[in-house]
Structure 1
């Protein structure tokens, strides 16, 4: 059977664009459909605009520190419309780059929705049907809002938060994951009064417990009004804002309510059921180690598979898909020891196992240091950084590394190389410290703070 394309990609985000581009460059005939904007969540509604907001929000604290260091600085209020204008222009620029790179590689792009009709056919929104030898689903995820909270229609998600017409004076962040904590710090830095509700016992579930507690203390000290064990019972739109009643009985009015309570795979209405593709309880596409579904011609990469929801992982999965299917080199994407960073203020970088995961698996030593770095101590700022290594007692291998400090994301990228290579504690110790830096602590911790047999 002759197909219109060798590969049809549904979704123009980081994973989909990478797979389409390199496959087309390799000589295959490739098409792609994207119903919103090229670049996907990361570029348009996620990593990029969020990180630019992080940058903007850090200048208020930096200006105050500059005063303490002797600079005569007078900081005015934050100009939200001006920032939004530049942000919009930057996202449009990046969207154009994604489109141009795919187009230059020879990918045929359809700027409309596509759904799967059968294992080799997709249908575009205009009714046109296209056939392909292989179909790759890379439709990402979407922010989840519970539908059982009265008044939930008055709440925002991370999709809409970048388009707020004005900076809210009072904002409630609902959730305790990394997105919620990042936006709590962002709006706090921009000058909003920030309240955060999380129904669990501690924020950042799934991360290292000691690090979670450290971050919670820091953001509270910075002015975020954090309430754990608390959820929203109902919301109402009133003349003075959005009235919120919490499950603990407290009532308050906010200018905006942002729900950051997780993300779900974006699979609704894609035609997966009709094509016979298996999905999981959360709607995720079930794939094997090579990103192949139970239908041999259909593959999926990125957040839509709900494996590791990180942009670089989606890109790695896309490359592995290309190697496996179009180069004949079976390649599994490697999901072990993936470094990550949470852009709270300060940042939290992590790679490998948490203390809790490691101690339940084998005997380990824990090395941890929390201290005021030189820059803070000089001006009497109490904010402390944290460096932590989890070490296997038998092999001496460093199983996990956790850093809470300014620029922890930059540090954990490099530490991640050592952990990925299986470096031992003694190899860390043998590395000469770079002085004076915060990061030197990672090679100076000589005595374990805790031992788990």
Structure 2
């Protein structure tokens, strides 16, 4: 049967755009539909605009530190409207680049919603139907407002935060994951009185415990009110502000409440039920290692599959799909070792196993190397901050299982460490690498003495 196109991509985010471009490069006729803006969550209302705000939030530290290095500065003032305008202009520029890349790849773009009619047909909101040899779902996920509470609709999600016209004087951020932690750091750095509410006893569940402790300590020192072990019971209007009732009974008022408690795949209304694709409990699409669904002609990549919800993973999955289906190069993505960064302040970079996960798998066959120190810049600036470097090693093989960093440029450092771990580096490989001095990252190749956990008094 002759189809209108070889590939129809639903979703113009990072994963969908990469898949469309690579498939077109392999000679496929490709069409892509995006109902909002090209670039997806990461470019439009996620990693990129958020990282720009992170940069903005760190200038206050730079101004303060400058005095210790001999600089005398005038009064520093922050203008939210200037940041918003410049940030929005940059995002618009990036969106134009995405469109240009698709145009140059000869990918036809439909700026409207699409839904699946059958295994080889997609219908656009305009009513146009397009037949395709293969369909790729790359619609991503969206933030949730859960759990549902009275007045919960008065809060905002990480989508709406980028639309704020004015900087809040006081904000309540709810959640303990990447998004909540990063926005709490942003607002606090910009001068907003910030409360971070999380039902757990520590932030960043699933991360190495030393990282979690280090971030909690650092945030407390930076003046962020950590309301841990608590939940939000209700939100009420209080004049022009919001009154938040916490689970311990106290009521506090804020200008804004940001709910960052999770995200769900955007599968509602896609027509999956018409072709027999059943989603899981949160709406994610089950796929195999090659991103293929239960319907052979339909694939899915990115956050909509809920495998590893990170932009570089979606890009890699989209590329692998296109190579496999249209390029004659069958391969899949290894989700087992993914370097990642949390753009808190201080920053976190991590790759591989944390100490707890390593001990759960390898028992006593785990050796820890750890260094905590005051960074060189702080010795003159006088800032009270610490850097943490940690290496997790399997004792019997000497293989490095994980590397974890808290401090300046941790994300940049962990990218390079990720290469080493992907190649199967051993601790001996780290040890024979010549240090770059003076840097913080040199600690990763100069740690020689294993960290010994002291037994409690009266034990052993």
**TM-score for the superposition, normalised by structure 1:** 0.98
Instruction: Identify the residue that residue 278 of structure 1 maps to in structure 2.
Output: 278
Deviation at 1:451, TM superposition (A): 7.0
Alignment of 1:89-104 (within 5 A): 89-104=89-104
Tell me the residue number matched to 1:77: 77
User: Partners of 1:92 and 1:381 in 2: how far apart?
Assistant: 37
1:28 is displaced (CA, Å) by 1.1
Match of 2:216 in 1: 216
Offset from partner CA, 1:416-436 (integer Å, 9 cap, x none):
111111111111111111111
3-state DSSP class of the match of 1:450?
coil
Report the Cα offset of residue 147 of structure 1. 5.3
Q: Which residue of 2 aligns with 1:446?
A: 448
**Alpha-carbon distance, 1:169 to partner:** 0.4
2:408 paired with 1:385: no
CA distance in structure 1 between the aligned counterparts of 2:414 and 2:256, rounded to whole angstroms:
34
* 8 A Cα contact 1:5 1:29, kept in partner: yes
Q: Could you say which residue in structure 2 is the equivalent of 1:427?
A: 429
Deviation at 1:148, TM superposition (A): 2.1
Q: For 1:171 and 1:75, how far apart are their aligned partners in 2? A: 25
Distance in 2 of aligned mates of 1:420 and 1:333:
13
Residue in structure 2 matching 1:404, options 386, 403, 406: 406
Q: Secondary structure in 2 aligned to 1:378?
A: helix
Match in the other structure for 1:371: 373
| Kept in 1: contact 2:167–2:192 (CA 8 A) | yes
2:397 partner SS: coil
> Retained in 2: the 8 A contact 1:171–1:256?
yes
Deviation larger for 428-437 or 177-186: 428-437
Partner of 2:123: 123
Structure 1 residue 124: Cα displacement: 0.6
Q: What SS is found at the alignment partner of 1:369?
A: strand
In the TM superposition, residue 278 of structure 1 has moved relative to its aligned partner by: 2.6
Which 10-residue stretch deviates more, 49-58 or 140-149? 140-149
Is the Cα–Cα contact under 8 Å of residues 240 and 253 in structure 1 kept in the other structure?
Answer: no
Partner SS for 1:288: coil
Q: How is 1:251-290 mapped onto 2 (pairs within 5 angstroms)?
A: 251-290=251-290
RMSD: 1.1
Distance apart, 1:328 and its partner CA? 2.5
Secondary structure at the aligned position of 1:439 is classed as coil
State how far apart, in whole Å, the 2-side matches of 1:334 and 1:106 are.
30
Instruction: Structure 2 unaligned segments of length 5 or more: list them.
Output: 455-460
TM-score where L is the length of structure 2: 0.97
Contact map agreement 1:347 1:406 (CA 8 A) in 2: yes
Structure-2 residue corresponding to 1:345 = 345
Provide the C-alpha distance between the structure 2 equivalents of 1:266 and 1:87, rounded to a whole number of angstroms: 26
Q: Is the 8 A contact 1:3 1:133 kept in 2?
A: yes
Aligned equivalents of 2:357, 2:452: Cα separation in 1: 15
**Per-residue deviation at 1:200?**
1.2
Q: Which residue of 2 aligns with 1:166?
A: 166
Structure 1: runs of 5 or more not aligned: none
Give secondary structure in 2 for the equivalent of 1:78. Answer: coil
* In structure 2, C-alpha distance between the alignment counterparts of 1:381 and 1:451, rounded to whole Å: 29
In structure 1, distance between residues paired with 2:345 and 2:51: 12
Q: Distance in 1 between matches of 2:240 and 2:269?
A: 38
Q: Give matches, 1:36-75, under 5 Å.
A: 36-75=36-75
- 1:447 Cα deviation from its structure 2 partner: 1.0
Identify the match of residue 415 of structure 2 among 401, 413, 416: 413
Q: Deviations over 1:69-113 (max 9, x none)?
A: 221112432101111111111111100000111011111100000
**C-alpha contact (below 8 Å) 2:68/2:382 kept by paired residues:** no
Q: Are 1:242 and 2:242 counterparts?
A: yes
User: Quick check: 2:65–2:382 contact (8 Å CA) kept in 1?
Assistant: no
8 A contact 2:393–2:402 mirrored in 1:
yes
Distance 1:309 1:345 in 2: 22
Q: How many equivalent pairs are there? A: 452
Contact 2:66 2:381 (C-alpha < 8 Å) held by counterparts: no
Report what 2:142 is aligned to: 142
CA distance in 2, matches of 1:173, 1:148: 16
Q: Deviations over 1:14-37 (max 9, x none)?
A: 000011111112211100000000
Q: Is the 8 A contact 1:364 1:451 kept in 2?
A: no
State the partner residue of 2:314: 314
Equivalent residues of 1:9, 1:16 under 8 A apart: yes
